[in-house]
Structure 1
């Protein structure tokens, strides 16, 4: 009965309703844009030249001239649901083939007739109807037989045999018997197993889905930028309105007419500025809706993993995704703003001027910010440089890159919070004929006005967890790992691993028998947990698999790392050795022993990770450094030293590397809070060569005892804080 209840939830009338006729689908057909409608609804909207506009996305399609609507593919999934719905709702119905009033026991998927027991037998025994497929009420209620009608199709020539082959030259699904008769291997026929052919479609579609996701993200960002620019226009105009009012109040009554004239002109210019942006915003949002609809349809099909359905719609999906993925976002940001120019005369003017310095997004400590400089004609000579003066008075110069005619861009990564002053230095000719750097000026127009911006703290974008043993609570967690859309936390003193999604929503947990100290997740989803001197493997769902047979080789396991091929690196710095283990737990080799890495000895290593080049990266808590080795344990690089500067290390622990090679490091820091963030209690970002990039700190929800870290591909890092019994998530790129 549980299976029947689940089916009832799936067969909601709303999901089976055509958006045009508002009735249950009748012969549902899929348009090239992947939207589904009744065949009769499409036929009514088709023009004489076989053109049809999609009722949802308004895209105009030219269909094949010969039976255009009937040539559209049927919606495989909805047709199945309609058959189930008809049979499931037939308990009080009577046979539609005879007039006996007998109870319905089955439905013919081809004739769409509800049948009693006698008519079912007659229908099945009729030679003319032998190819029709029939679903019985018994099949619907029996999970093992219901799968026959939801997961597989049957051969049109041999209706009791499943189609398991696909003849590529014929583009037709066939059964095994057909491969011996009509579709025997030859120059004209090449039958291959359905799963083999479908896999290629699935791989290609998955790649196109990712490209389309990237296009959708770019469209979302463009729409978001336009909304910000619209807000900027409104705020800018409100400020100018205030200036206009203040000026005309001083001139009192005789200036009232001039004030009204200028205000009217301002509103006209505001409308002139807003109209193209509003249209551009609507265009991007319309494209985004179409992209998201196509993505949802494709991801639903891929999620159902139905090979027949993928082969039926595969080419259409591929064509549509290529079109959607090609919708790249190309646009210029807002260049101009309104300026009110006043004088003691009644005559005043509104002019459209270029903002010399613009910051695209509010600056945040340690995160990259784009600074755009658009000088007015004659204002600068040579290549300008952007200067930044921090609250402490330190001044740095940023190199700029020419991004378009008359526009330059610099990337600024502020390292402190508070108000910063941004200016521009340019190379101008002096009266003496020489050249030097000075504030850019245009003759008679003064210099480039500095821009004062307030840099905010890089506070966590997400914090969850507290001390306890309930789900979502922790007791001194020590490590964290990310694989796909899942976050794995070693809940150490609760003797378990908890699994969440990347927004912190609890998924499930499983026990580890003893305290888990570190963990990694292999490419196939297998979870490896380090407990004491044992490494235990668990299935992706948390079922215990086995213990790795490495106990005799290890004395003091310090950490685990997973390689790109799924192999595992086990670090034992009690003996200065590394164990290389295959994904199935087989020990491949042991490297090191007495004298290993003698030139670069370890004092105490807390964590280890592997980057995309298979280099092994380890953190040394006592020596306050990070060391990098290749896969053969040849020393490559060492960086870091103890100190109070943001780029110095203070008892480093967790370490993780992203796909771009950036290294994110956790520091436990000083035992006291004296001196603030500079004394440790921080996250640091380094380039692959060890160059310091940024230090992540926060004014609110400060780190207490950061330990294990794990990065995500969208530029965020998770860190466990074993003193606060929580997990925090920061943006670092």
Structure 2
């Protein structure tokens, strides 16, 4: 592939490497002087060349490999006729100054002083200073080339990879590939089943088919873009549904927690009431036993006094009173019958945990949503393949 530079095309000039014969020593010294002279004289012609090689050879500094510019990367020509950009030459000069100063151990030579400077290409030496480097003549040949490239229209020509510099002007229909003139004679003969036509004719024949294919692909791309927007809206809807579901789950378990807290409070109150009632019953029995004990002790004291005083009447009265009290003893079931009230908590925890494990469900239901209906309606006029 090469570029064709055109100014009112009349003929092609293929750029070749400079000749090495002794008869053309001037061209050897300056390989593109003839072309520049012809262009300057106004000779109209088209140039077929490799644009990348041309730029690398003529339009780029050989040190930094940057393209020359008229204001920043100015091409400066050395006495040995090799050209480099001014920033690179100044940098090389400063490096030479630093090296020369360190070797001589002298401060008399520094940036701005005259030193021996070598060309990076041919290694020829010459004395120069920083001001002399700046004042080096500009390589106007490069400037003219830059101006020529800037003001010249270019277009791309494909060349045959098998036959040197033969443009691909034909198209082999069975092989589905562009071919050159030599290919039609050697490799793509009609008697061998090849059907070769002019590239323009092939473009005319296949352009409607390709345009239809492009239209279909563009329609499909538009449909895919619309579907992408619909799916993005669905993602937002799913995110909104996520928030709703999370809130519903939180509300349901909040109600369960409130019911559990209420039941916990009720059970604790029931426990307090039963414990308090049982404590009160036992405490009442203890109080009655204490009163009975005090009464017995008092009767015993009186009986002893009656025995001491030999008061027979008092003795019999007290004895009768003790017999009546003995007939109505205080009954304590925990002691007399061996019965004791014991409170316990029955939770049915396993059953409750099983029900909690199965509590609630997330159901998925497929429905026709409004976004899909709107998308199908908007894309009804498009022809596209299914996703």
Alignment TM-score, normalising by the size of structure 1: 0.18
More helix by share: 2
More strand by share: 1
Higher Cα radius of gyration: 2
